[in-house]
Structure 1
Amino acid sequence: MLQYLLMCRSLTYAQRASRALERIGITAIITKAPKSVTGQGCNYCVKVSERNLVKSLSTLKEAGLGPSRVFLVSHDGSVSEVPG
């Protein structure tokens, strides 16, 4: 299953985003963003499944927690930015 990384501007925002998604029944895992995405590896993101992407994005936007960037994690582990 494909996974998406929803980039958050801080750990606090990632925690808020995760809670907002969990409240509506979407499993959201907080993780550090890969260094290949950030350059430093100090950003945080929320990982969601492909089937929950659209609902996750709309929920976070309504809550004022929309991600700064979205990345697709392919089956082989490669990460690519989703054009927005």
Structure 2
Amino acid sequence: PPEDGRTIDTYIDAVLKREKLQRNPHASRAELIRRATYDLTGLPPTPEEVEQFVNSDDPEAWPKLIDRLLESPHYGERWGRHW
């Protein structure tokens, strides 16, 4: 990312500093998979999916999870309801 102060993170950091606020801590891997599956499919992850994601050493685990959820028929069903 550019270091010239034009990133969204730079802006957010400046606002947080001005308002004397701190960022929230990073979510755990279990929280991340739960949030992603509910947001994208409207369904909870299975215990097996959580265990696999939490225990994965793959640096691409997050993008692979998102791709899998976007390819799921449940994604289309969830978002098709809004039409």
Could you say which structure has the greater relative contact order, defined with CA pairs below 8 angstroms and 6 or more residues apart?
1
Q: State which structure, 1 or 2, has the greater radius of gyration over its C-alpha atoms.
A: 2
Kindly indicate which of the two structures has a greater share of residues assigned to strand: 1
Q: By the TM > 0.5 criterion, same fold?
A: no
Kindly indicate which of the two structures has a greater share of residues assigned to helix: 2
